[in-house]
Amino acid sequence: MFVAVMGYGTVGSGVAEVLKMNAGSIKKKCGFELELKRILDIRKFPGDPFEDIITDKFDDILTDPEIEVVAETMGGLHPAYEFVSALLKSGKSVVTSNKELVAVKGRELLECAKANGANFLFEASTGGGIPVLRPVSQCLVGNEITHVAGILNGTTNYILTEMIKNDTAFEDALASAQKLGYAEKDPTADVDGIDALRKICILADLCFGKNVDPGNVEAIGIRNVNLADVEAAKKLGGAIKLIGSADRLGDGRIAVIVCPSFVKNGSQLAACDDVFNCVLVRGNAVGEVCFYGPGAGKLPTASAVVADMADCAKHNGCDRSPEWDEGSEGYVVSGDDFVSEWLVRASGSESGIAGAIPGAKIISAAAESSEVCFTTPELSYGSLNALLGSAGAQALSVIRITDY
């Protein structure tokens, strides 16, 4: 079967490499070869082994009746959305690694695929090379899922690990993540938690069966986390990780957030370092399961893309795509109403904080900088900010305390 790739960057070139490197075993498993006929990219690649099949014309893929499965690895919403829609409408199946496209337009594209007898699969959009979306939507179908959470961004996990274990400066760690091909084109999406936000929304869509608009979810990145927070976490017996989580509440709503989070030593999430991701799912039949592996990078992500291409190719004409309902007003609890225990570093006085925040436990107070580290009992993010205001204190970092 003939296939094509759109976008010859880190992931797209990885897909071409994997298709070539593992052509024999893929053929054996699929029953036929996945032959790469076209690669779309506006750039020129003189001397590249795939130079002859690179085109800058989308129509070379769209109008080629021999190409049945297309991998979109361009990233960004536009023109990826327009290209994917056109391909699905023409009956071609599309697989993608594009988190933004799936988080924002996934539901619509799935409907479009179903209406046109095609498939739209996106395993590589979440967790890089970790098989997690298919297991969640197929292997855990016998469960009511109550909770999903994870380290979902390889770049920030790599940066935090480098800062904590090797004393690397933030900028140097980020530069090295970019060099290794982990970071987004605009790494603020990694650092500010936007990439993890898109991924937790995709997981929540699949786990809870209803669309979560990323625009309704609070995302706090790792910019404000410093060594004082790391030390405070160590004193509490754990580590800080950027975690996206989604909980189903008793009233049917879901509470979703991305923020730096305290995890206890000994937990699977605390042991997940470097570019690795770890996704924890709680179901009412299975209990707790964890999915762990490389969350970014050329070949790991390509591994997931190629698996989706093979699935589409092997099951051409069968519906393999997941689905979920439309979202609704009030379905996602607002960031201000998100309830947790918190680990806070704030500028202010120890007595002011202890007086204004009932149950606050001071961990450390640095007289010279008037910085106070403390924990709070369960309270909403909005109440925490209001109480800090009444203590005359300003939050410097806010870290969620988790039970994992």
Binding mask 60-99 for ligand HSE (x = CB under 6 A): ----------------------------------------
Is 192 or 311 the residue whose CB approaches ligand HSE more closely? Answer: 192
Residue numbers 173-192 binding ligand HSE by CB under 6 A: 182-184, 190
Q: How far is the CB of 327 from ligand HSE (least distance, A)?
A: 23
Separation between Cα atoms, residue 96 and residue 292, nearest integer Å: 20
Is 128 or 348 the residue whose CB approaches ligand HSE more closely? Answer: 128
* Binding segment (CB under 6 A) for ligand HSE, from list 30-38, 87-95, 153-161, 236-244: 153-161
In the bound state, the residue with its beta carbon closest to ligand HSE is: 155
Q: Residue 195, interface with ligand HSE (CB under 6 A)?
A: yes
Is 182 or 404 the residue whose CB approaches ligand HSE more closely? Answer: 182
Q: Residue 221, interface with ligand HSE (CB under 6 A)?
A: no
Contact call for residues 129 and 10 (beta carbons, < 8 A): no
Number of residues that bind ligand HSE (CB under 6 A): 11
Q: Residue from 128, 150, 244, 260 that binds ligand HSE (CB under 6 A)?
A: 128
Question: Shortest CA distance to 336 belongs to which of 384, 374, 378?
Answer: 384
Q: Residue 240, interface with ligand HSE (CB under 6 A)?
A: no
Per the annotation, the verdict on 199 as an active-site residue is yes
Q: Residue from 155, 161, 303, 376 that binds ligand HSE (CB under 6 A)?
A: 155
Q: Residue 13, interface with ligand HSE (CB under 6 A)?
A: no
Is 307 or 360 the residue whose CB approaches ligand HSE more closely? Answer: 307
Q: How far is the CB of 153 from ligand HSE (least distance, A)?
A: 4
Q: How far is the CB of 225 from ligand HSE (least distance, A)?
A: 16
**Secondary structure in 3-state letters for the chain:** CEEEEECCCHHHHHHHHHHHHCHHHHHHHHCCCCEEEEEECCCCCCCCCCHHHEECCCHHHHCCCCEEEEEECCCCCCCHHHHHHHHHHCCCEEEECCHHHHHHHHHHHHHHHHHCCCCEECHHHCCCCCCCHHHHHHHCCCCCEEEEEEECCHHHHHHHHHHHHHCCCHHHHHHHHHHCCCCCCCCHHHHCCHHHHHHHHHHHHHHHCECCCHHHCEECCCCCCCHHHHHHHHHCCEEEEEEEEEEECCCCCEEEEEEEEEEECCCCCCCCCCCEEEEEEEECCCEEEEEEEECCCHHHHHHHHHHHHHHHHHCCCCCCCCCCECCCCCCECCHHHCEEEEEEEEECCHHHHHHHCCCCEEEEEECCCCEEEEEEEEEEHHHHHHHHHHCCCEEEEEEEECCC
Is 274 or 337 the residue whose CB approaches ligand HSE more closely? Answer: 274
Question: Shortest CA distance to 127 belongs to which of 77, 200, 180?
Answer: 200
Contact call for residues 98 and 76 (beta carbons, < 8 A): yes
Q: Residue 295, interface with ligand HSE (CB under 6 A)?
A: yes
Q: How far is the CB of 368 from ligand HSE (least distance, A)?
A: 36
Q: Residue 202, interface with ligand HSE (CB under 6 A)?
A: no
Residue numbers 382-401 binding ligand HSE by CB under 6 A: none
Compute CA distances 151 → 39, 259, 261, 290, whole Å: 32, 10, 10, 11
Separation between Cα atoms, residue 272 and residue 275, nearest integer Å: 9
Is 154 or 238 the residue whose CB approaches ligand HSE more closely? Answer: 154
Binding mask 332-371 for ligand HSE (x = CB under 6 A): ----------------------------------------
Q: How far is the CB of 9 from ligand HSE (least distance, A)?
A: 11
Q: Residue from 96, 98, 153, 161 that binds ligand HSE (CB under 6 A)?
A: 153
Is 155 or 397 the residue whose CB approaches ligand HSE more closely? Answer: 155
Question: Which candidate in 199, 234, 264, 298 is catalytic?
Answer: 199
Q: How far is the CB of 11 from ligand HSE (least distance, A)?
A: 8
Q: Which residues bind ligand HSE (CB under 6 A)?
A: 128, 153-155, 182-184, 190, 195, 295-296
Active site members:
199
